[in-house]
Structure 1
Amino acid sequence: MNKAFTLSLVAIAMHCGVAFAQQPAWKIVPGKISTTFSEQVDPAAPLPEYPRPHFVRNNWKNLNGLWDYAITARSNAAPASYEGKILVPYAVESALSGVGRTVGKDSLLWYRTTVTVPAAMKGKRVLLHFGAVDWQTEVFVNGKSAGTHEGGFDPFNFDITALLKKSGAQEVTVKVWDPTDEGTQPRGKQVRKPNGIWYTPVTGIWQTVWLEAVPQTYLSASKQTPNIDAQTLTVSSFVTGAKAGDKVRVSAFNGNEKVAEQEVDANGTAVLKIANPKLWSPSTPFLYDLKFALVRNGKVADEAQSYFAMRKSSLGKDDKGIQRMLLNNQFVFQYGPLDQGWWPDGLYTAPTDAALKYDVEKTKEMGFNMIRKHIKVEPARWYYHCDKLGILVWQDMPSGDLGNGWEPRPAIIGRGTEQKRDAASEGYYRKEWEIIMNTLHNFPSIVSWVPFNEAWGQFKTVEITEWTMKKDPSRLVNSASGGNFFNTGHIIDLHNYPEPAMPDPAIYGATRAIVLGEFGGLGLPVDGHVWQQKDNWGYQSFKTPEDLLKRYSAFMTRMESLIKDGLSAAVYTQTTDVEVETNGLMTYDRKVMKNPEAKLFQLHSKLYNPSLVVIK
């Protein structure tokens, strides 16, 4: 990706506005550990960066900052008065929100702020964007409903142009209801009573809120899919309000060099020839720039910038006839941590963009080349950092509607039960999974989708898996990480604690890639850096970093032989401690590396030896 585009993102970040000219006092809620990044949070402009790096425009305004909030009974109308200030976009339960209160299924969370629409937006359509709000949302502008949304992990927006007053302050009110684990909606690891592997609830706005100005007819999205074998990039562009004769010009750049261009009808599909493509991988994360221009009667009516990478995620057999996960038609052992994406101060939300990037950087420094994003979806900028730094990503679907039985042994196909979801529960899952896949499609770092984890709400496994494969044939699908197991998908995935192990390649290797979706969980509580002083746990606990490293080193020796025998990938639990879990490579507050990055890097480097596996 060229320097000019990177600098443009920085310039856009500096361009952002905030909801208040003067901010009243705010402080982090005391009582829990926090990261050093929380000290860098500016309540006048938290998370000021441009939130959508895959579709960049210059005319926007950041609305993060201090808003009014109130918690009322679910039956109540909008409050006549508000209780105090909340720092958006940190969830109300988090310390960084400045509130630190739970809400629950019997209450509503209300937000209110006033916004001045910049002069540069006058005469244009104004879109109000939310990166993510958990869970059921209704938005009002100047007292009138702008729209509703259900889903805790996907971005949405409303065209609020018709609701705006001609001048002056515009009032934005947001109503949120979230039943946490008392509903059937996708909710990940949130529970009312946190314990073990289940964490503090997250309610309300937890990603950036922003305004965007667009023309009456505008580019609304794109979908780009590379094909390294044909040396092409297929690009679908979507236009809102298109008229007959409108065109979209799609241009690809390597730095300042234009490498391909095509003009197609609005809402059409371009196929760009990318000759001699530079392939994206963890060792060479090369990104091309992509520019869109909406053309009407020979004039550019709208523009947006994006980027793409040429990379391929597929299966192929080795010289023993065992299916392997391939990257760019080559076997690359995929090894990385289970990454929950939780923060002691922000819960779902990293305190700053630097914090969001920090975990990815540390993962690379430790010698991993992959991250399994576990039961959560991150803000778009997290995937952008993975794209730029070169980290493969397995993306989980956040679970919900739990209760079915789990059969963890892959040798027993079809033994575990499937959840019998009602129509509403199934609808929530299908709708949000499709939107998540659509939203994240353009991030080249994502190489595998994971619809289910350990039978958590698992239902209609074969149907959901095959739909996912059809929806995105450019990636592998790990049907059910850790079971329940069915004859479907590209991958068979075992969970085994603490030692590394794998499904029998003699049984599964001819049809599916073999992976170890979770193992390890070696615990080491570090005094002064724990969520609570007692009742912390790991799958196996140690008292010193040296003892932990000795055990982990033995795992890596074992891993080499498993790779030779047929293992394609492994996921170690986990990146950081999370609440009472102390099995992280780092403490929850990110202040202590339990073992030096350099030592881990050295241990991991031998796992990527290309001579371990020969592809036919």
Structure 2
Amino acid sequence: MALPRTNVLNQMLILTFILNLLPAAKADMNTPVQTPWDSKVSKDNPLPEYPRPQLVRSEWKNLNGKWDYAIAPKGKGEPKEWGGKILVPFCFESQLSGVHKQITLDDWMWYKRSFTVPKSWGGKSIMLNFQASDWETVVYINGKKVGRHRGGYSPFSFDITDFINKDDRQELVVRVWDNSGMELFTSCGKQGNPNHWNSNYPNSSGIWQTVWLEPVNEGGAVDLDINASLKKSMVSMFIETADSPASETNAKIKILDDGDVVAEKKAPVNKEIKLFIENPKGWTPDNPHLYDIEVALERSGKVIDRFASYCGLRDVSIDPTRKGPQILLNGEPLFQFGPLDQSYWPRSVLTPPTEEAIVFELEYLKQVGCNMVRLHIKRNPSRWYYHCDRLGLIVWQDFVCNKPFPKQKIDAQESKRWFSEQEELVDSLNCHPSILKWIVFNEAWGQHDTERIVKKAESMLSPEYLVSAASGWTDFDNLGDIRDLHEYSRFPAATAPSEESKRAVVMGEIGGFNVPIKGNNWVQYPEPALPDNPDFKVEGKDRRGGMRSNTDSADRDFVTDIKRPLFSQKNMATHYQRFIETLAQERYFGLSGAVYTQLTDMRHEQNGWLTFDRKVSKIDPERLNQIHQVLYQPVQERQKIFSFQSEWKHKGQKIQFPISADSDEIRNLSKYESAVYSTEFDVDEKPKQAVINVKLRSEHQKDKFGYLKVYIDDNLIYDDLSRHKKKETRITCVQLTEQQCGLLSKGGHKLKIEVDSTINFELLDVSIDKIVK
């Protein structure tokens, strides 16, 4: 389908440069930061683009714009007095809505507007469509109740034909209650407590995506599923229609490549239709080839519906025969890398302010060398996925979870309600070639009855998609296709190949380096002035964690996930490059993909590549691209300098590695003492590149974050924590800097490790490899 391609990235970077030269405006307490697109939002027709790019009809009417609104006590009838105007589709809590008010569990949100039905639509069914409204939405037309929908993230529709009167103007009233995952166990993602204003993750209550009307003839399409396989050279379609036996309506389908018909077929609707393409072109991030699709539905020789769509042919699978099972796209291994995208906006919450804003972010990701993005526990507008399809960005899509640990017990009815929302989510996104992986649970948020739910998800998603049972924290052995780690260490560790024989290993969240940029962040953190650390060493009081400067007592190590390194913008690129080089070495042991936290800053998080206002890239995009290229280069061969399972010494006594925390020399230590092990090794020739491999089998326990340091000839090379949430063996591959490689001159050397008394592990070993190009 030929939708216009808008390249705004270069213009935006120029605009960013100009904006940064302007004098700082007086701070507005209601809008601490603003994106460049906020001022471009139309007050009469915001987000005017057709909202459903995979089932496009020519006739439609956008209902975005100014509506009357009222906030009334829950349980009361339609208000007699209205509170003012709200700009739909922006939520009540947002500034762009013009309301900017907190909604509580005791509130009902009321909307009202009038509309007209074009006379050319006469004799057709009139469909009222919502892209998203959170959470319980009740619709009235001309004073009569049309229907109710429950769910906050998926599109839904009502046939309002029978409620239309003969007058020119029709009255539309919408009532919404936002459950926010509090009273009922429902999808809510990271939205905050509705009774607390200024949440770090504000709510998006009420209508928050486009509302529109369209005419559809009786028997027209109500849903479309597309599954396009490159391996089979096949496009499978299921066109669902209402009130029409399949034998009465036929679909006439054409698949086109740059205007040329490459496949066509006429077949009954409401059943699978298969079309085959000779010599098909596959969809990949480097070549995101899309085929246009034209569909005409016919009954008794008359066309009753026309719409356009598109598809991309691709297959995703896992090859368990490789060193560490690998994710394959179209039969070829592809390391997938990109950011966590929480997709919050300063003045519009979960709703992108404009189409231009969507395109800017996604083109930025392509420019900085990403081939993937993880959309974090939310559903974006459908046009966001279209642009991912068009630009070649793989999407790892989350189910929309409930809040962390909402209850000790979740009953069957609540679980069924929540899963039905996920079924709607999948159904609304199952045509996009860019979506390769679905994540069922994130960090145990609302996680329950895991095996049953994941198997149910697999039956719904496989084999078109990969399934990650749990991203971070609570993993179940051999459940799902993916072992998905969250590793907020400066040197992330991947699950050893011996632990996973079938599932591919990825890191669903890593990094999170905090770099506040004064004037561009929500809470106006100052930019830190920390000493240069060319060896990525963070010691003493410089061991600051992430979101805020911590007290001295908390600076000793990374106690929780939110305490991550804090750097100045000047130093970030150096530290980040070392981090990515270390990540690239993990591919040697089978790592298949990784997600950096995160694309943009948030209200309280300063760890984005972009600032919250999207005006500053903390590392120059070209430099960022250069840093990322090492992730896609062929995995380098290695030669051993010093092997695992070698002999060490502790206080003069010989110790055979690997060791455990139950070793006498560790178990008998006092608190905060360290056991010191040393050994000697020889180097035949100084390497240009080398890697230290730290193999650790540990299990997280509360307040049991132990510390480990590795030295070569008394020079500190590695220092980090045992942070595992699951008892399994992981390997950290620490890429040595050029200066550290210089220590490995020809001759004899000393290797030493210090093991903190608080560390909890079953196995610890260390080796050194030389990189062979």
With structure 1 as the length reference, what TM-score do the two structures score?
0.90
1:195-274 equivalence runs, <5 A:
198-243=200-245, 244-274=247-277
SS in 2 for 1:466: helix
Distance 2:505 2:586 in 1: 10
**Cα-to-partner distance string for 1:530-584 (whole Å, 9 max, x where unaligned):** 1113595464343421311111111111012101111000000000001111111
Secondary structure of the equivalent of 1:450? strand
Measured after TM superposition, the shift of residue 401 of structure 1 is 4.7
Partner of 1:436, secondary structure, is helix
Q: Do the aligned partners of 2:238 and 2:269 also contact (CA within 8 Å) in 1?
A: no
Q: 1:363 to 1:419 in 2, by over 3 A?
A: farther
Q: Which of these residues, 3, 6, 18, is aligned with residue 6 of structure 1?
A: 3
Q: 1:364-389 CA distances to partner (integer Å, 9 max, x unpaired)?
A: 11111100000111010000010000
- Taking the aligned partners of 2:408 and 2:611, their CA distance within structure 1 comes to 35
Equivalent position of 1:476 in the other structure = 466
Q: Which residue of 1 aligns with 2:301?
A: 298
Aligned to 1:531: 522
Instruction: Report the CA distance between 1:216 and its aligned residue.
Output: 1.4
* Of 492, 496, 501, the match for 2:487: 496
User: Equivalents in 2 of 1:194, 1:524: separation in Å?
Assistant: 27
Contact preservation (8 Å) 2:71, 2:110 = yes
User: What is the match of residue 588 of structure 1?
Assistant: 612
User: Per-residue deviation at 1:195?
Assistant: 10
- 1:277 — aligned with what? 280
Aligned to 1:187: 188
Matches of 1:119 and 1:57, distance apart in 2: 17
**Matched AA of 1:269:** E
Corresponding residue SS for 1:157: strand
SS of 1:559's partner is helix
Q: Are 1:196 and 1:580, in contact at CA under 8 Å, matched by a contact in 2? A: no
Q: Distance in 2 between matches of 1:586 and 1:339?
A: 11
Pairing partner for 1:597 from 589, 610, 621: 621
- Which of 379, 382, 391 matches 2:381? 379
3-state DSSP class of the match of 1:292?
Answer: strand
Amino acid at match of 1:574: Q
Q: Measure how far apart 1:283 and its partner are.
A: 0.4
Q: CA deviation at 1:525?
A: 1.1
In the aligned structure 1, how far is the partner of 2:201 from the partner of 2:390?
30
1:407-432 C-alpha deviation (Å, 9 max, x unpaired): xxxxxxxxxxx963123421221111
TM-score (norm 2): 0.72
Maintained 8 Å contact 1:492/1:503:
no
CA distance in 1, matches of 2:303, 2:345: 43
**1:435-469: CA deviation from partner (whole Å, max 9, x where unpaired):** 11111000110000001001000111111111111
Structure 2 residue matching 1:381: 3-state secondary structure: helix
Q: Which amino acid aligns with 2:633?
A: N
- Alignment map for 1:343-354 (pairs within 5 Å): 343-354=345-356
Task: Give the match for residue 544 of structure 1.
Answer: 568
Most deviating of 526-535 and 124-133? 526-535
Report the Cα offset of residue 29 of structure 1: 9.5
Equivalent position amino acid for 1:304 in 2:
F
Paired letter, 1:185: T
Residues 449, 262 of structure 1: alpha-carbon distance in 2 compared, 3 angstrom cutoff: same
Q: Is the 8 A contact 1:139 1:175 kept in 2?
A: yes
Q: Highest relative contact order (Cα 8 Å, sep 6+), 1 or 2?
A: 1
Contact kept, 8 Å, 2:187 with 2:400, in 1: the verdict is yes
Structure 1 residue 612, shift from structure 2 partner: 5.2
2:38 paired residue number: 38
Matched, 1:77 2:74: no
CA distance in 2, matches of 1:435, 1:610: 40
* Pairwise CA distance, 1:95: 0.6
Whether the 8 Å contact between 1:194 and 1:200 is mirrored in structure 2 is: no
Compute the displacement of 1:198 (Å): 4.6
Check whether the contact 1:69–1:84 (CA below 8 A) recurs between aligned residues: yes
Answer yes or no: is the 8 Å Cα contact 1:45–1:64 preserved in 2.
yes
Judge conservation of contact 2:581–2:630 (CA < 8 Å) in 1.
no
Instruction: Note the residue ranges of structure 1 that are not aligned, 5 or more in a row.
Output: 10-27, 405-417
Contact 1:29–1:99 under 8 Å retained in 2? no
CA distance in 1, matches of 2:493, 2:256: 43
1:486 is matched with 476
Secondary structure of residue in 1 paired with 2:203? coil
Find the aligned partners of 1:281 and 1:160 in 2 and give their Cα distance.
41
Contact 2:516 2:568 in 1 (8 A): no
SS in 1 for 2:436: strand
> For 1:146 and 1:59, how far apart are their aligned partners in 2?
22
Tell me which structure has the larger Cα radius of gyration: 2
In the alignment, what sits opposite 1:460? Answer: 449
1:501, CA displacement in angstroms? 2.5
- Name the amino acid aligned to 1:527: K
Once residues 514 and 198 of structure 2 are traced to their aligned partners in structure 1, the CA distance between those partners, rounded to angstroms, is 13
Gaps of 5+ in 2: 7-27, 527-546, 549-561, 638-773
3-state SS, counterpart of residue 3 of structure 2: helix
Residue aligning to 2:596: 572
SS at match of 1:540: coil
Question: In 1, Cα distance between the equivalents of 2:475 and 2:199?
Answer: 22
Partners of 2:121 and 2:563 in 1: CA distance: 54
Letter in 1 for 2:518: D
Aligned to 1:17: none
Corresponding residue of 1:438: 427
Q: Note the C-alpha offset of 1:117.
A: 1.2
2:176 match: 176
**In structure 1, C-alpha distance between the alignment counterparts of 2:29 and 2:244, rounded to whole Å:** 49
Cα deviation, residue 181, structure 1: 4.6
Distance 1:364 1:132 in 2: 28
Distance across 2 between alignment mates of 1:305 and 1:340: 30
Instruction: Say if 2:189 and 2:403, in contact at 8 Å, map to a contact too.
Output: no
Give the equivalent residue in structure 2 for 1:164. 164
- 8 Å CA contact 2:600–2:607 kept in 1: the answer is yes
For residues 278-317 of structure 1, the C-alpha deviation after alignment (integer angstroms, 9 at most, x for no partner) is 1111100110011211111223221111000001111013
Q: In 2, Cα distance between the equivalents of 1:73 and 1:534?
A: 38
Cα distance, 1:116 vs. partner? 1.1
The residue identity in structure 1 corresponding to 2:520 is H
Q: State the AA in 1 paired with 2:186.
A: Q
* Deviation of 1:605 (Å): 1.1
Moved more, 192-201 or 87-96: 192-201
**Counterpart amino acid of 2:386?**
Y
- Kept after mapping to 1: 8 A contact 2:297/2:303: yes
What does residue 705 of structure 2 align with? none
Look up the match of 1:113.
113
In 2, Cα distance between equivalents of 1:282 and 1:197: 36
Identity %: 38
* CA displacement at 1:197 relative to structure 2: 9.2
Whole-angstrom distance in 2 between the partners of 1:336 and 1:502:
18
Matched, 1:288 2:278: no
Which secondary structure state, in structure 2, belongs to the residue aligned with residue 478 of structure 1?
Answer: strand
Residues 502 and 567 of structure 1 are in contact (CA less than 8 Å); yes or no, is this contact kept in structure 2? no
Residue of structure 1 equivalent to 2:543: none
The offset of 1:77, in angstroms, is: 0.6
Structure 2: how far apart are the matches of 1:424 and 1:73? Answer: 27
Structure 1, residues 90-116: CA drift from partner, whole Å, max 9, x if none? Answer: 000001001100111011110000011
SS of alignment partner, residue 129 of structure 2: strand
1:330 maps to which of 321, 327, 332: 332
Number of corresponding residues: 578
